[in-house]
Structure 1
Amino acid sequence: MKHYAIESESISVKGDWVKHILSPQKEKDLPELDNKRGLLFSNVTLEKMIDDEMRLDNFALSLDKSRSIRTYSSGEQKKALLIYLINQKPEFLILDNPFDCLDVASVASLKESILELSKVVPIIQLFKREHDILPFITDVLVLEKEKLVKRHSLNSFKESLIHQNKDVFVNALPAAAGKLIEVSQVLVELKNVTVSYDERCIIKKLNWKIQKGEFWHLIGPNGSGKTTLLTMIYGDNPKAYGVDLFLFGHKKGTGESVWEIKEKIGYFTPSMTELFSGNHTAENMIISGLVDSVGLYRRPTDIQQRLAMQWLSLLGLKDKAQTLFYKLSQIEQRMILIARAMVKYPPLLILDEPSTGLDDKHANMMVSLINKIANESDSAILYVSHRTELGLKPDKKYVLTPSAEGSIGEVL
């Protein structure tokens, strides 16, 4: 039985190729699927069914009406969708990046179900990462503009990627704009910190210390408390008060405001790209990091413009300085927002899932940029992800492991 993989950057689940494959009238690309009924396993399908549950009271994915599918974890939602589709008895199935945003345990569980299904049903897998290609895949299809242009065996495709991972950025990081912020040697410290919600313990007796210049990877499955920790450090989570959480030498809640804390922290998460839909150029986006504004609303100085151009040159985006931010590609937007977070060289840089949703090529660019910041600056880095990226070089890992009594933390 043939199973196929297609790099998802070259195709859309709403595009012509997928529509034709799922229609009764097939294209000639995969004649073995002629007259066979296929279904689509995708976030698009999942979102529609969640919407149907809310609007039409159609609980097709929920085990019972007492619990909405919205309350399921990402892994549980995808498992429920797969079970539902299998029960429809498809003659082939298209999997659209099935492992996106899932932790290691959820990936393993979903993969086991798909492996069983592959024994009886042809699979077409859309993927972003070579690592995610399922082991039973026989052929990798290359599409350009929704047209099939080439076929690889799985082995030949993997061989073509062997030399892809390398350092991308050769220029040195630009100098800081001014004098660096003076802070204590210990930037973040947790002493026996326990957090509970509605009598459910999320994290239990965590002890952790982040010092100047260290590069940490915070890792743990979905629901282990990573977001809770981040909002306690960077945000205004009320759970941060009344526990022994120290930021930049001060116990949180004993003097410094949230804004004074945020001045010392650079922060990036992919969802931030949605905040900047106005007429902000790439150059102005970086300059706005110097004045702590969302976009730029004042005339920049020559020094600010020169510094922004140095960052854009490092990123290979000098020719896009006047391009509107929202018109840039996904990886370009993310790199610019990281430059914006770093332009003042904050004592602590927090990167929350910066490579999620990227393909291998662009993930390699992200890893190269993060390693460069770690090697050439004194900023401590807190990198948060359940995925360990190839080539990423953190000094240490802090691992959250869930238990019935709350997640415990361990330094590796």
Structure 2
Amino acid sequence: MAIAHWTIFADNESDKDFLFKQLLEARELPHGFAALQGMQGGLLSPSEIDRYIEEEERHDHKILTRGKKQHLQTMSSGERKKALLNHLLKQPLDYLILDNPLDNLDVSSRADLLQLLEGLANKISLIQLVNRWEDSLPFRSTFYLLRKNQLSPIEDPITLLKQEHSRQFIQPVPQPLEPIPLSTPLLVSFKQVSVSYGEKPVLHEISWELKSGEYWQLSGPNGSGKTTLLSLITGESPKAYGQDITLFGKKKGSGESVWDIKEKLGYFTPAMTDRFSGYHSLENMLISGLYDSIGLYVKPSPAEQRLAQDWIAFLGMEALGKRYFHELSPGQQRLIMCVRAMIKHPPLLILDEPTTGLDDSSAAMVVDLVNRMAEASKCCIVFVSHRKEPGLKPQYTLVLKPDIAGSKGAIEVN
């Protein structure tokens, strides 16, 4: 008898935790999943990994990394998922639920995990929930669509795959209140920059220049040094001192302050979203980007309020203007955070994995937004991603390629 598998496509507003509870407790199984009645299941998900990380950090109780020196917190995304999978496979499971198993993995890590899961599919039932169509595992499945907490069967998933995403942002990009002065169009210059941590080399002889108006993608596998490279620009790494690095016309270590850099830099990474858990209006969220503050602690001027409203209109969110930031969907929050980083039109805008964890529709809107901002401004934009996003239109790509001496940089013209 063939082993049954299920593939569930979900958006970012779907209540997947409710679904996982239904499946694992098997009290009220959804229609179409009766075959799981009386079976033992397991869950491979980021929330489970977070639970084990917390157990290690709070109680020094190593479960997934028992017998190893390395802590779960210091592992890459792919290593963490493999550790949890190995732990689950030591149990007598009849089926396994996979929560976006390939998300946030580079090409090599995806291939490794995919090989493990394809072998597992010959032994037990797999239920995969994915937000991105390209992340669905390539074995025969029964297909479902999850919206909120409603699960519906899909007879022809190819129809959904072919749905076209129309461009969302056609209004003029709002201009800054006043331009930020620059002494040179050369914003960043790295010459033969190498970085090591202890005996571990991370970057090797990286040479890279960023100029006004350029549009870049920074890519490379997990652990290739993308975060380290960015920290040399943002001022968060002491490793920048003693290197041949010039930022906004000033040699690194020549007396520049962190605020000198922040004035000319816009930055966003999804982890920043958690800092805005209070009651922040959309207008105040955007205006806080002018002050580089977490929250707004000054009374905004009428001009600042008009600018924020112009951006809200640009995003098509006028109807959401009275809501608080934490009430928005993950996709809407991501758009607001990208605009918050852009609102002053910084000479350099860095967007670090802005589409990670998003469904296809939300990711496509972020890509459209970034493309539009690149077209209509003089900002130099750096889009950081381990995956090639459909529709992204960078002029250049810096690819970090791991090497025993540290990752080397290869520049591609798109």
TM-score (norm 1): 0.93
Q: CA deviation at 1:37?
A: 1.5
Q: CA deviation at 1:263?
A: 0.5
Q: Who is 1:98 aligned against?
A: 101
Q: Percent identity?
A: 44
Structure 1's 199 and 288: CA in aligned 2 closer, same or farther, altered over 3 A? same
Verify the 8 A CA contact 2:10 2:145 in the aligned structure 1.
no
Structure 1's 58 and 324: CA in aligned 2 closer, same or farther, altered over 3 A? closer
Structure 1's 394 and 30: CA in aligned 2 closer, same or farther, altered over 3 A? same
Q: Who is 2:169 aligned against?
A: 169
Q: Who is 2:6 aligned against?
A: 4
Q: Who is 1:231 aligned against?
A: 231
| 1:306 equivalent in alignment to 2:309 | no
Q: Who is 1:182 aligned against?
A: 182
Q: Who is 1:84 aligned against?
A: 87
1:20 to 15, 19, 22: 22
TM-score (norm 2): 0.93
Aligned residues: CA RMSD? 1.9
Quick one: which amino acid aligns to residue 247 of structure 2?
L
Q: Who is 2:241 aligned against?
A: 241
Verify the 8 A CA contact 1:4 1:141 in the aligned structure 2.
yes
Q: Distance in 1 between matches of 2:48 and 2:279?
A: 33
- Segments of structure 1 that go 5 or more residues without pairing to the other structure are none
Q: Distance in 2 between matches of 1:11 and 1:344?
A: 34
Verify the 8 A CA contact 2:103 2:135 in the aligned structure 1.
no
Q: CA deviation at 1:359?
A: 0.3
Q: CA deviation at 1:404?
A: 1.1
3-state DSSP class of the match of 1:47?
helix
3-state DSSP class of the match of 1:14?
helix
Quick one: which amino acid aligns to residue 6 of structure 1?
I
Verify the 8 A CA contact 2:10 2:147 in the aligned structure 1.
no
Structure 1's 57 and 310: CA in aligned 2 closer, same or farther, altered over 3 A? closer
Q: CA deviation at 1:105?
A: 1.2
Q: Distance in 1 between matches of 2:23 and 2:291?
A: 51
Quick one: which amino acid aligns to residue 4 of structure 1?
W
Q: Who is 2:258 aligned against?
A: 258
Q: Distance in 2 between matches of 1:405 and 1:314?
A: 46
Moved more, 363-372 or 289-298: 289-298
3-state DSSP class of the match of 1:365?
helix
Quick one: which amino acid aligns to residue 126 of structure 2?
I
Q: Who is 2:143 aligned against?
A: 140
Verify the 8 A CA contact 1:171 1:314 in the aligned structure 2.
yes
Verify the 8 A CA contact 1:130 1:158 in the aligned structure 2.
no
2:35 to 21, 32, 36: 32
- Segments of structure 2 that go 5 or more residues without pairing to the other structure are none
Verify the 8 A CA contact 1:400 1:407 in the aligned structure 2.
yes
Q: Who is 2:279 aligned against?
A: 279
Q: Distance in 1 between matches of 2:396 and 2:144?
A: 39
| 1:152 equivalent in alignment to 2:167 | no
Q: Distance in 1 between matches of 2:295 and 2:409?
A: 37
How many residues are treated as equivalent by the alignment? Answer: 408
Q: Distance in 2 between matches of 1:322 and 1:146?
A: 26
3-state DSSP class of the match of 1:46?
helix
Structure 1's 308 and 121: CA in aligned 2 closer, same or farther, altered over 3 A? same
Structure 1's 324 and 105: CA in aligned 2 closer, same or farther, altered over 3 A? same
Q: Who is 2:74 aligned against?
A: 71
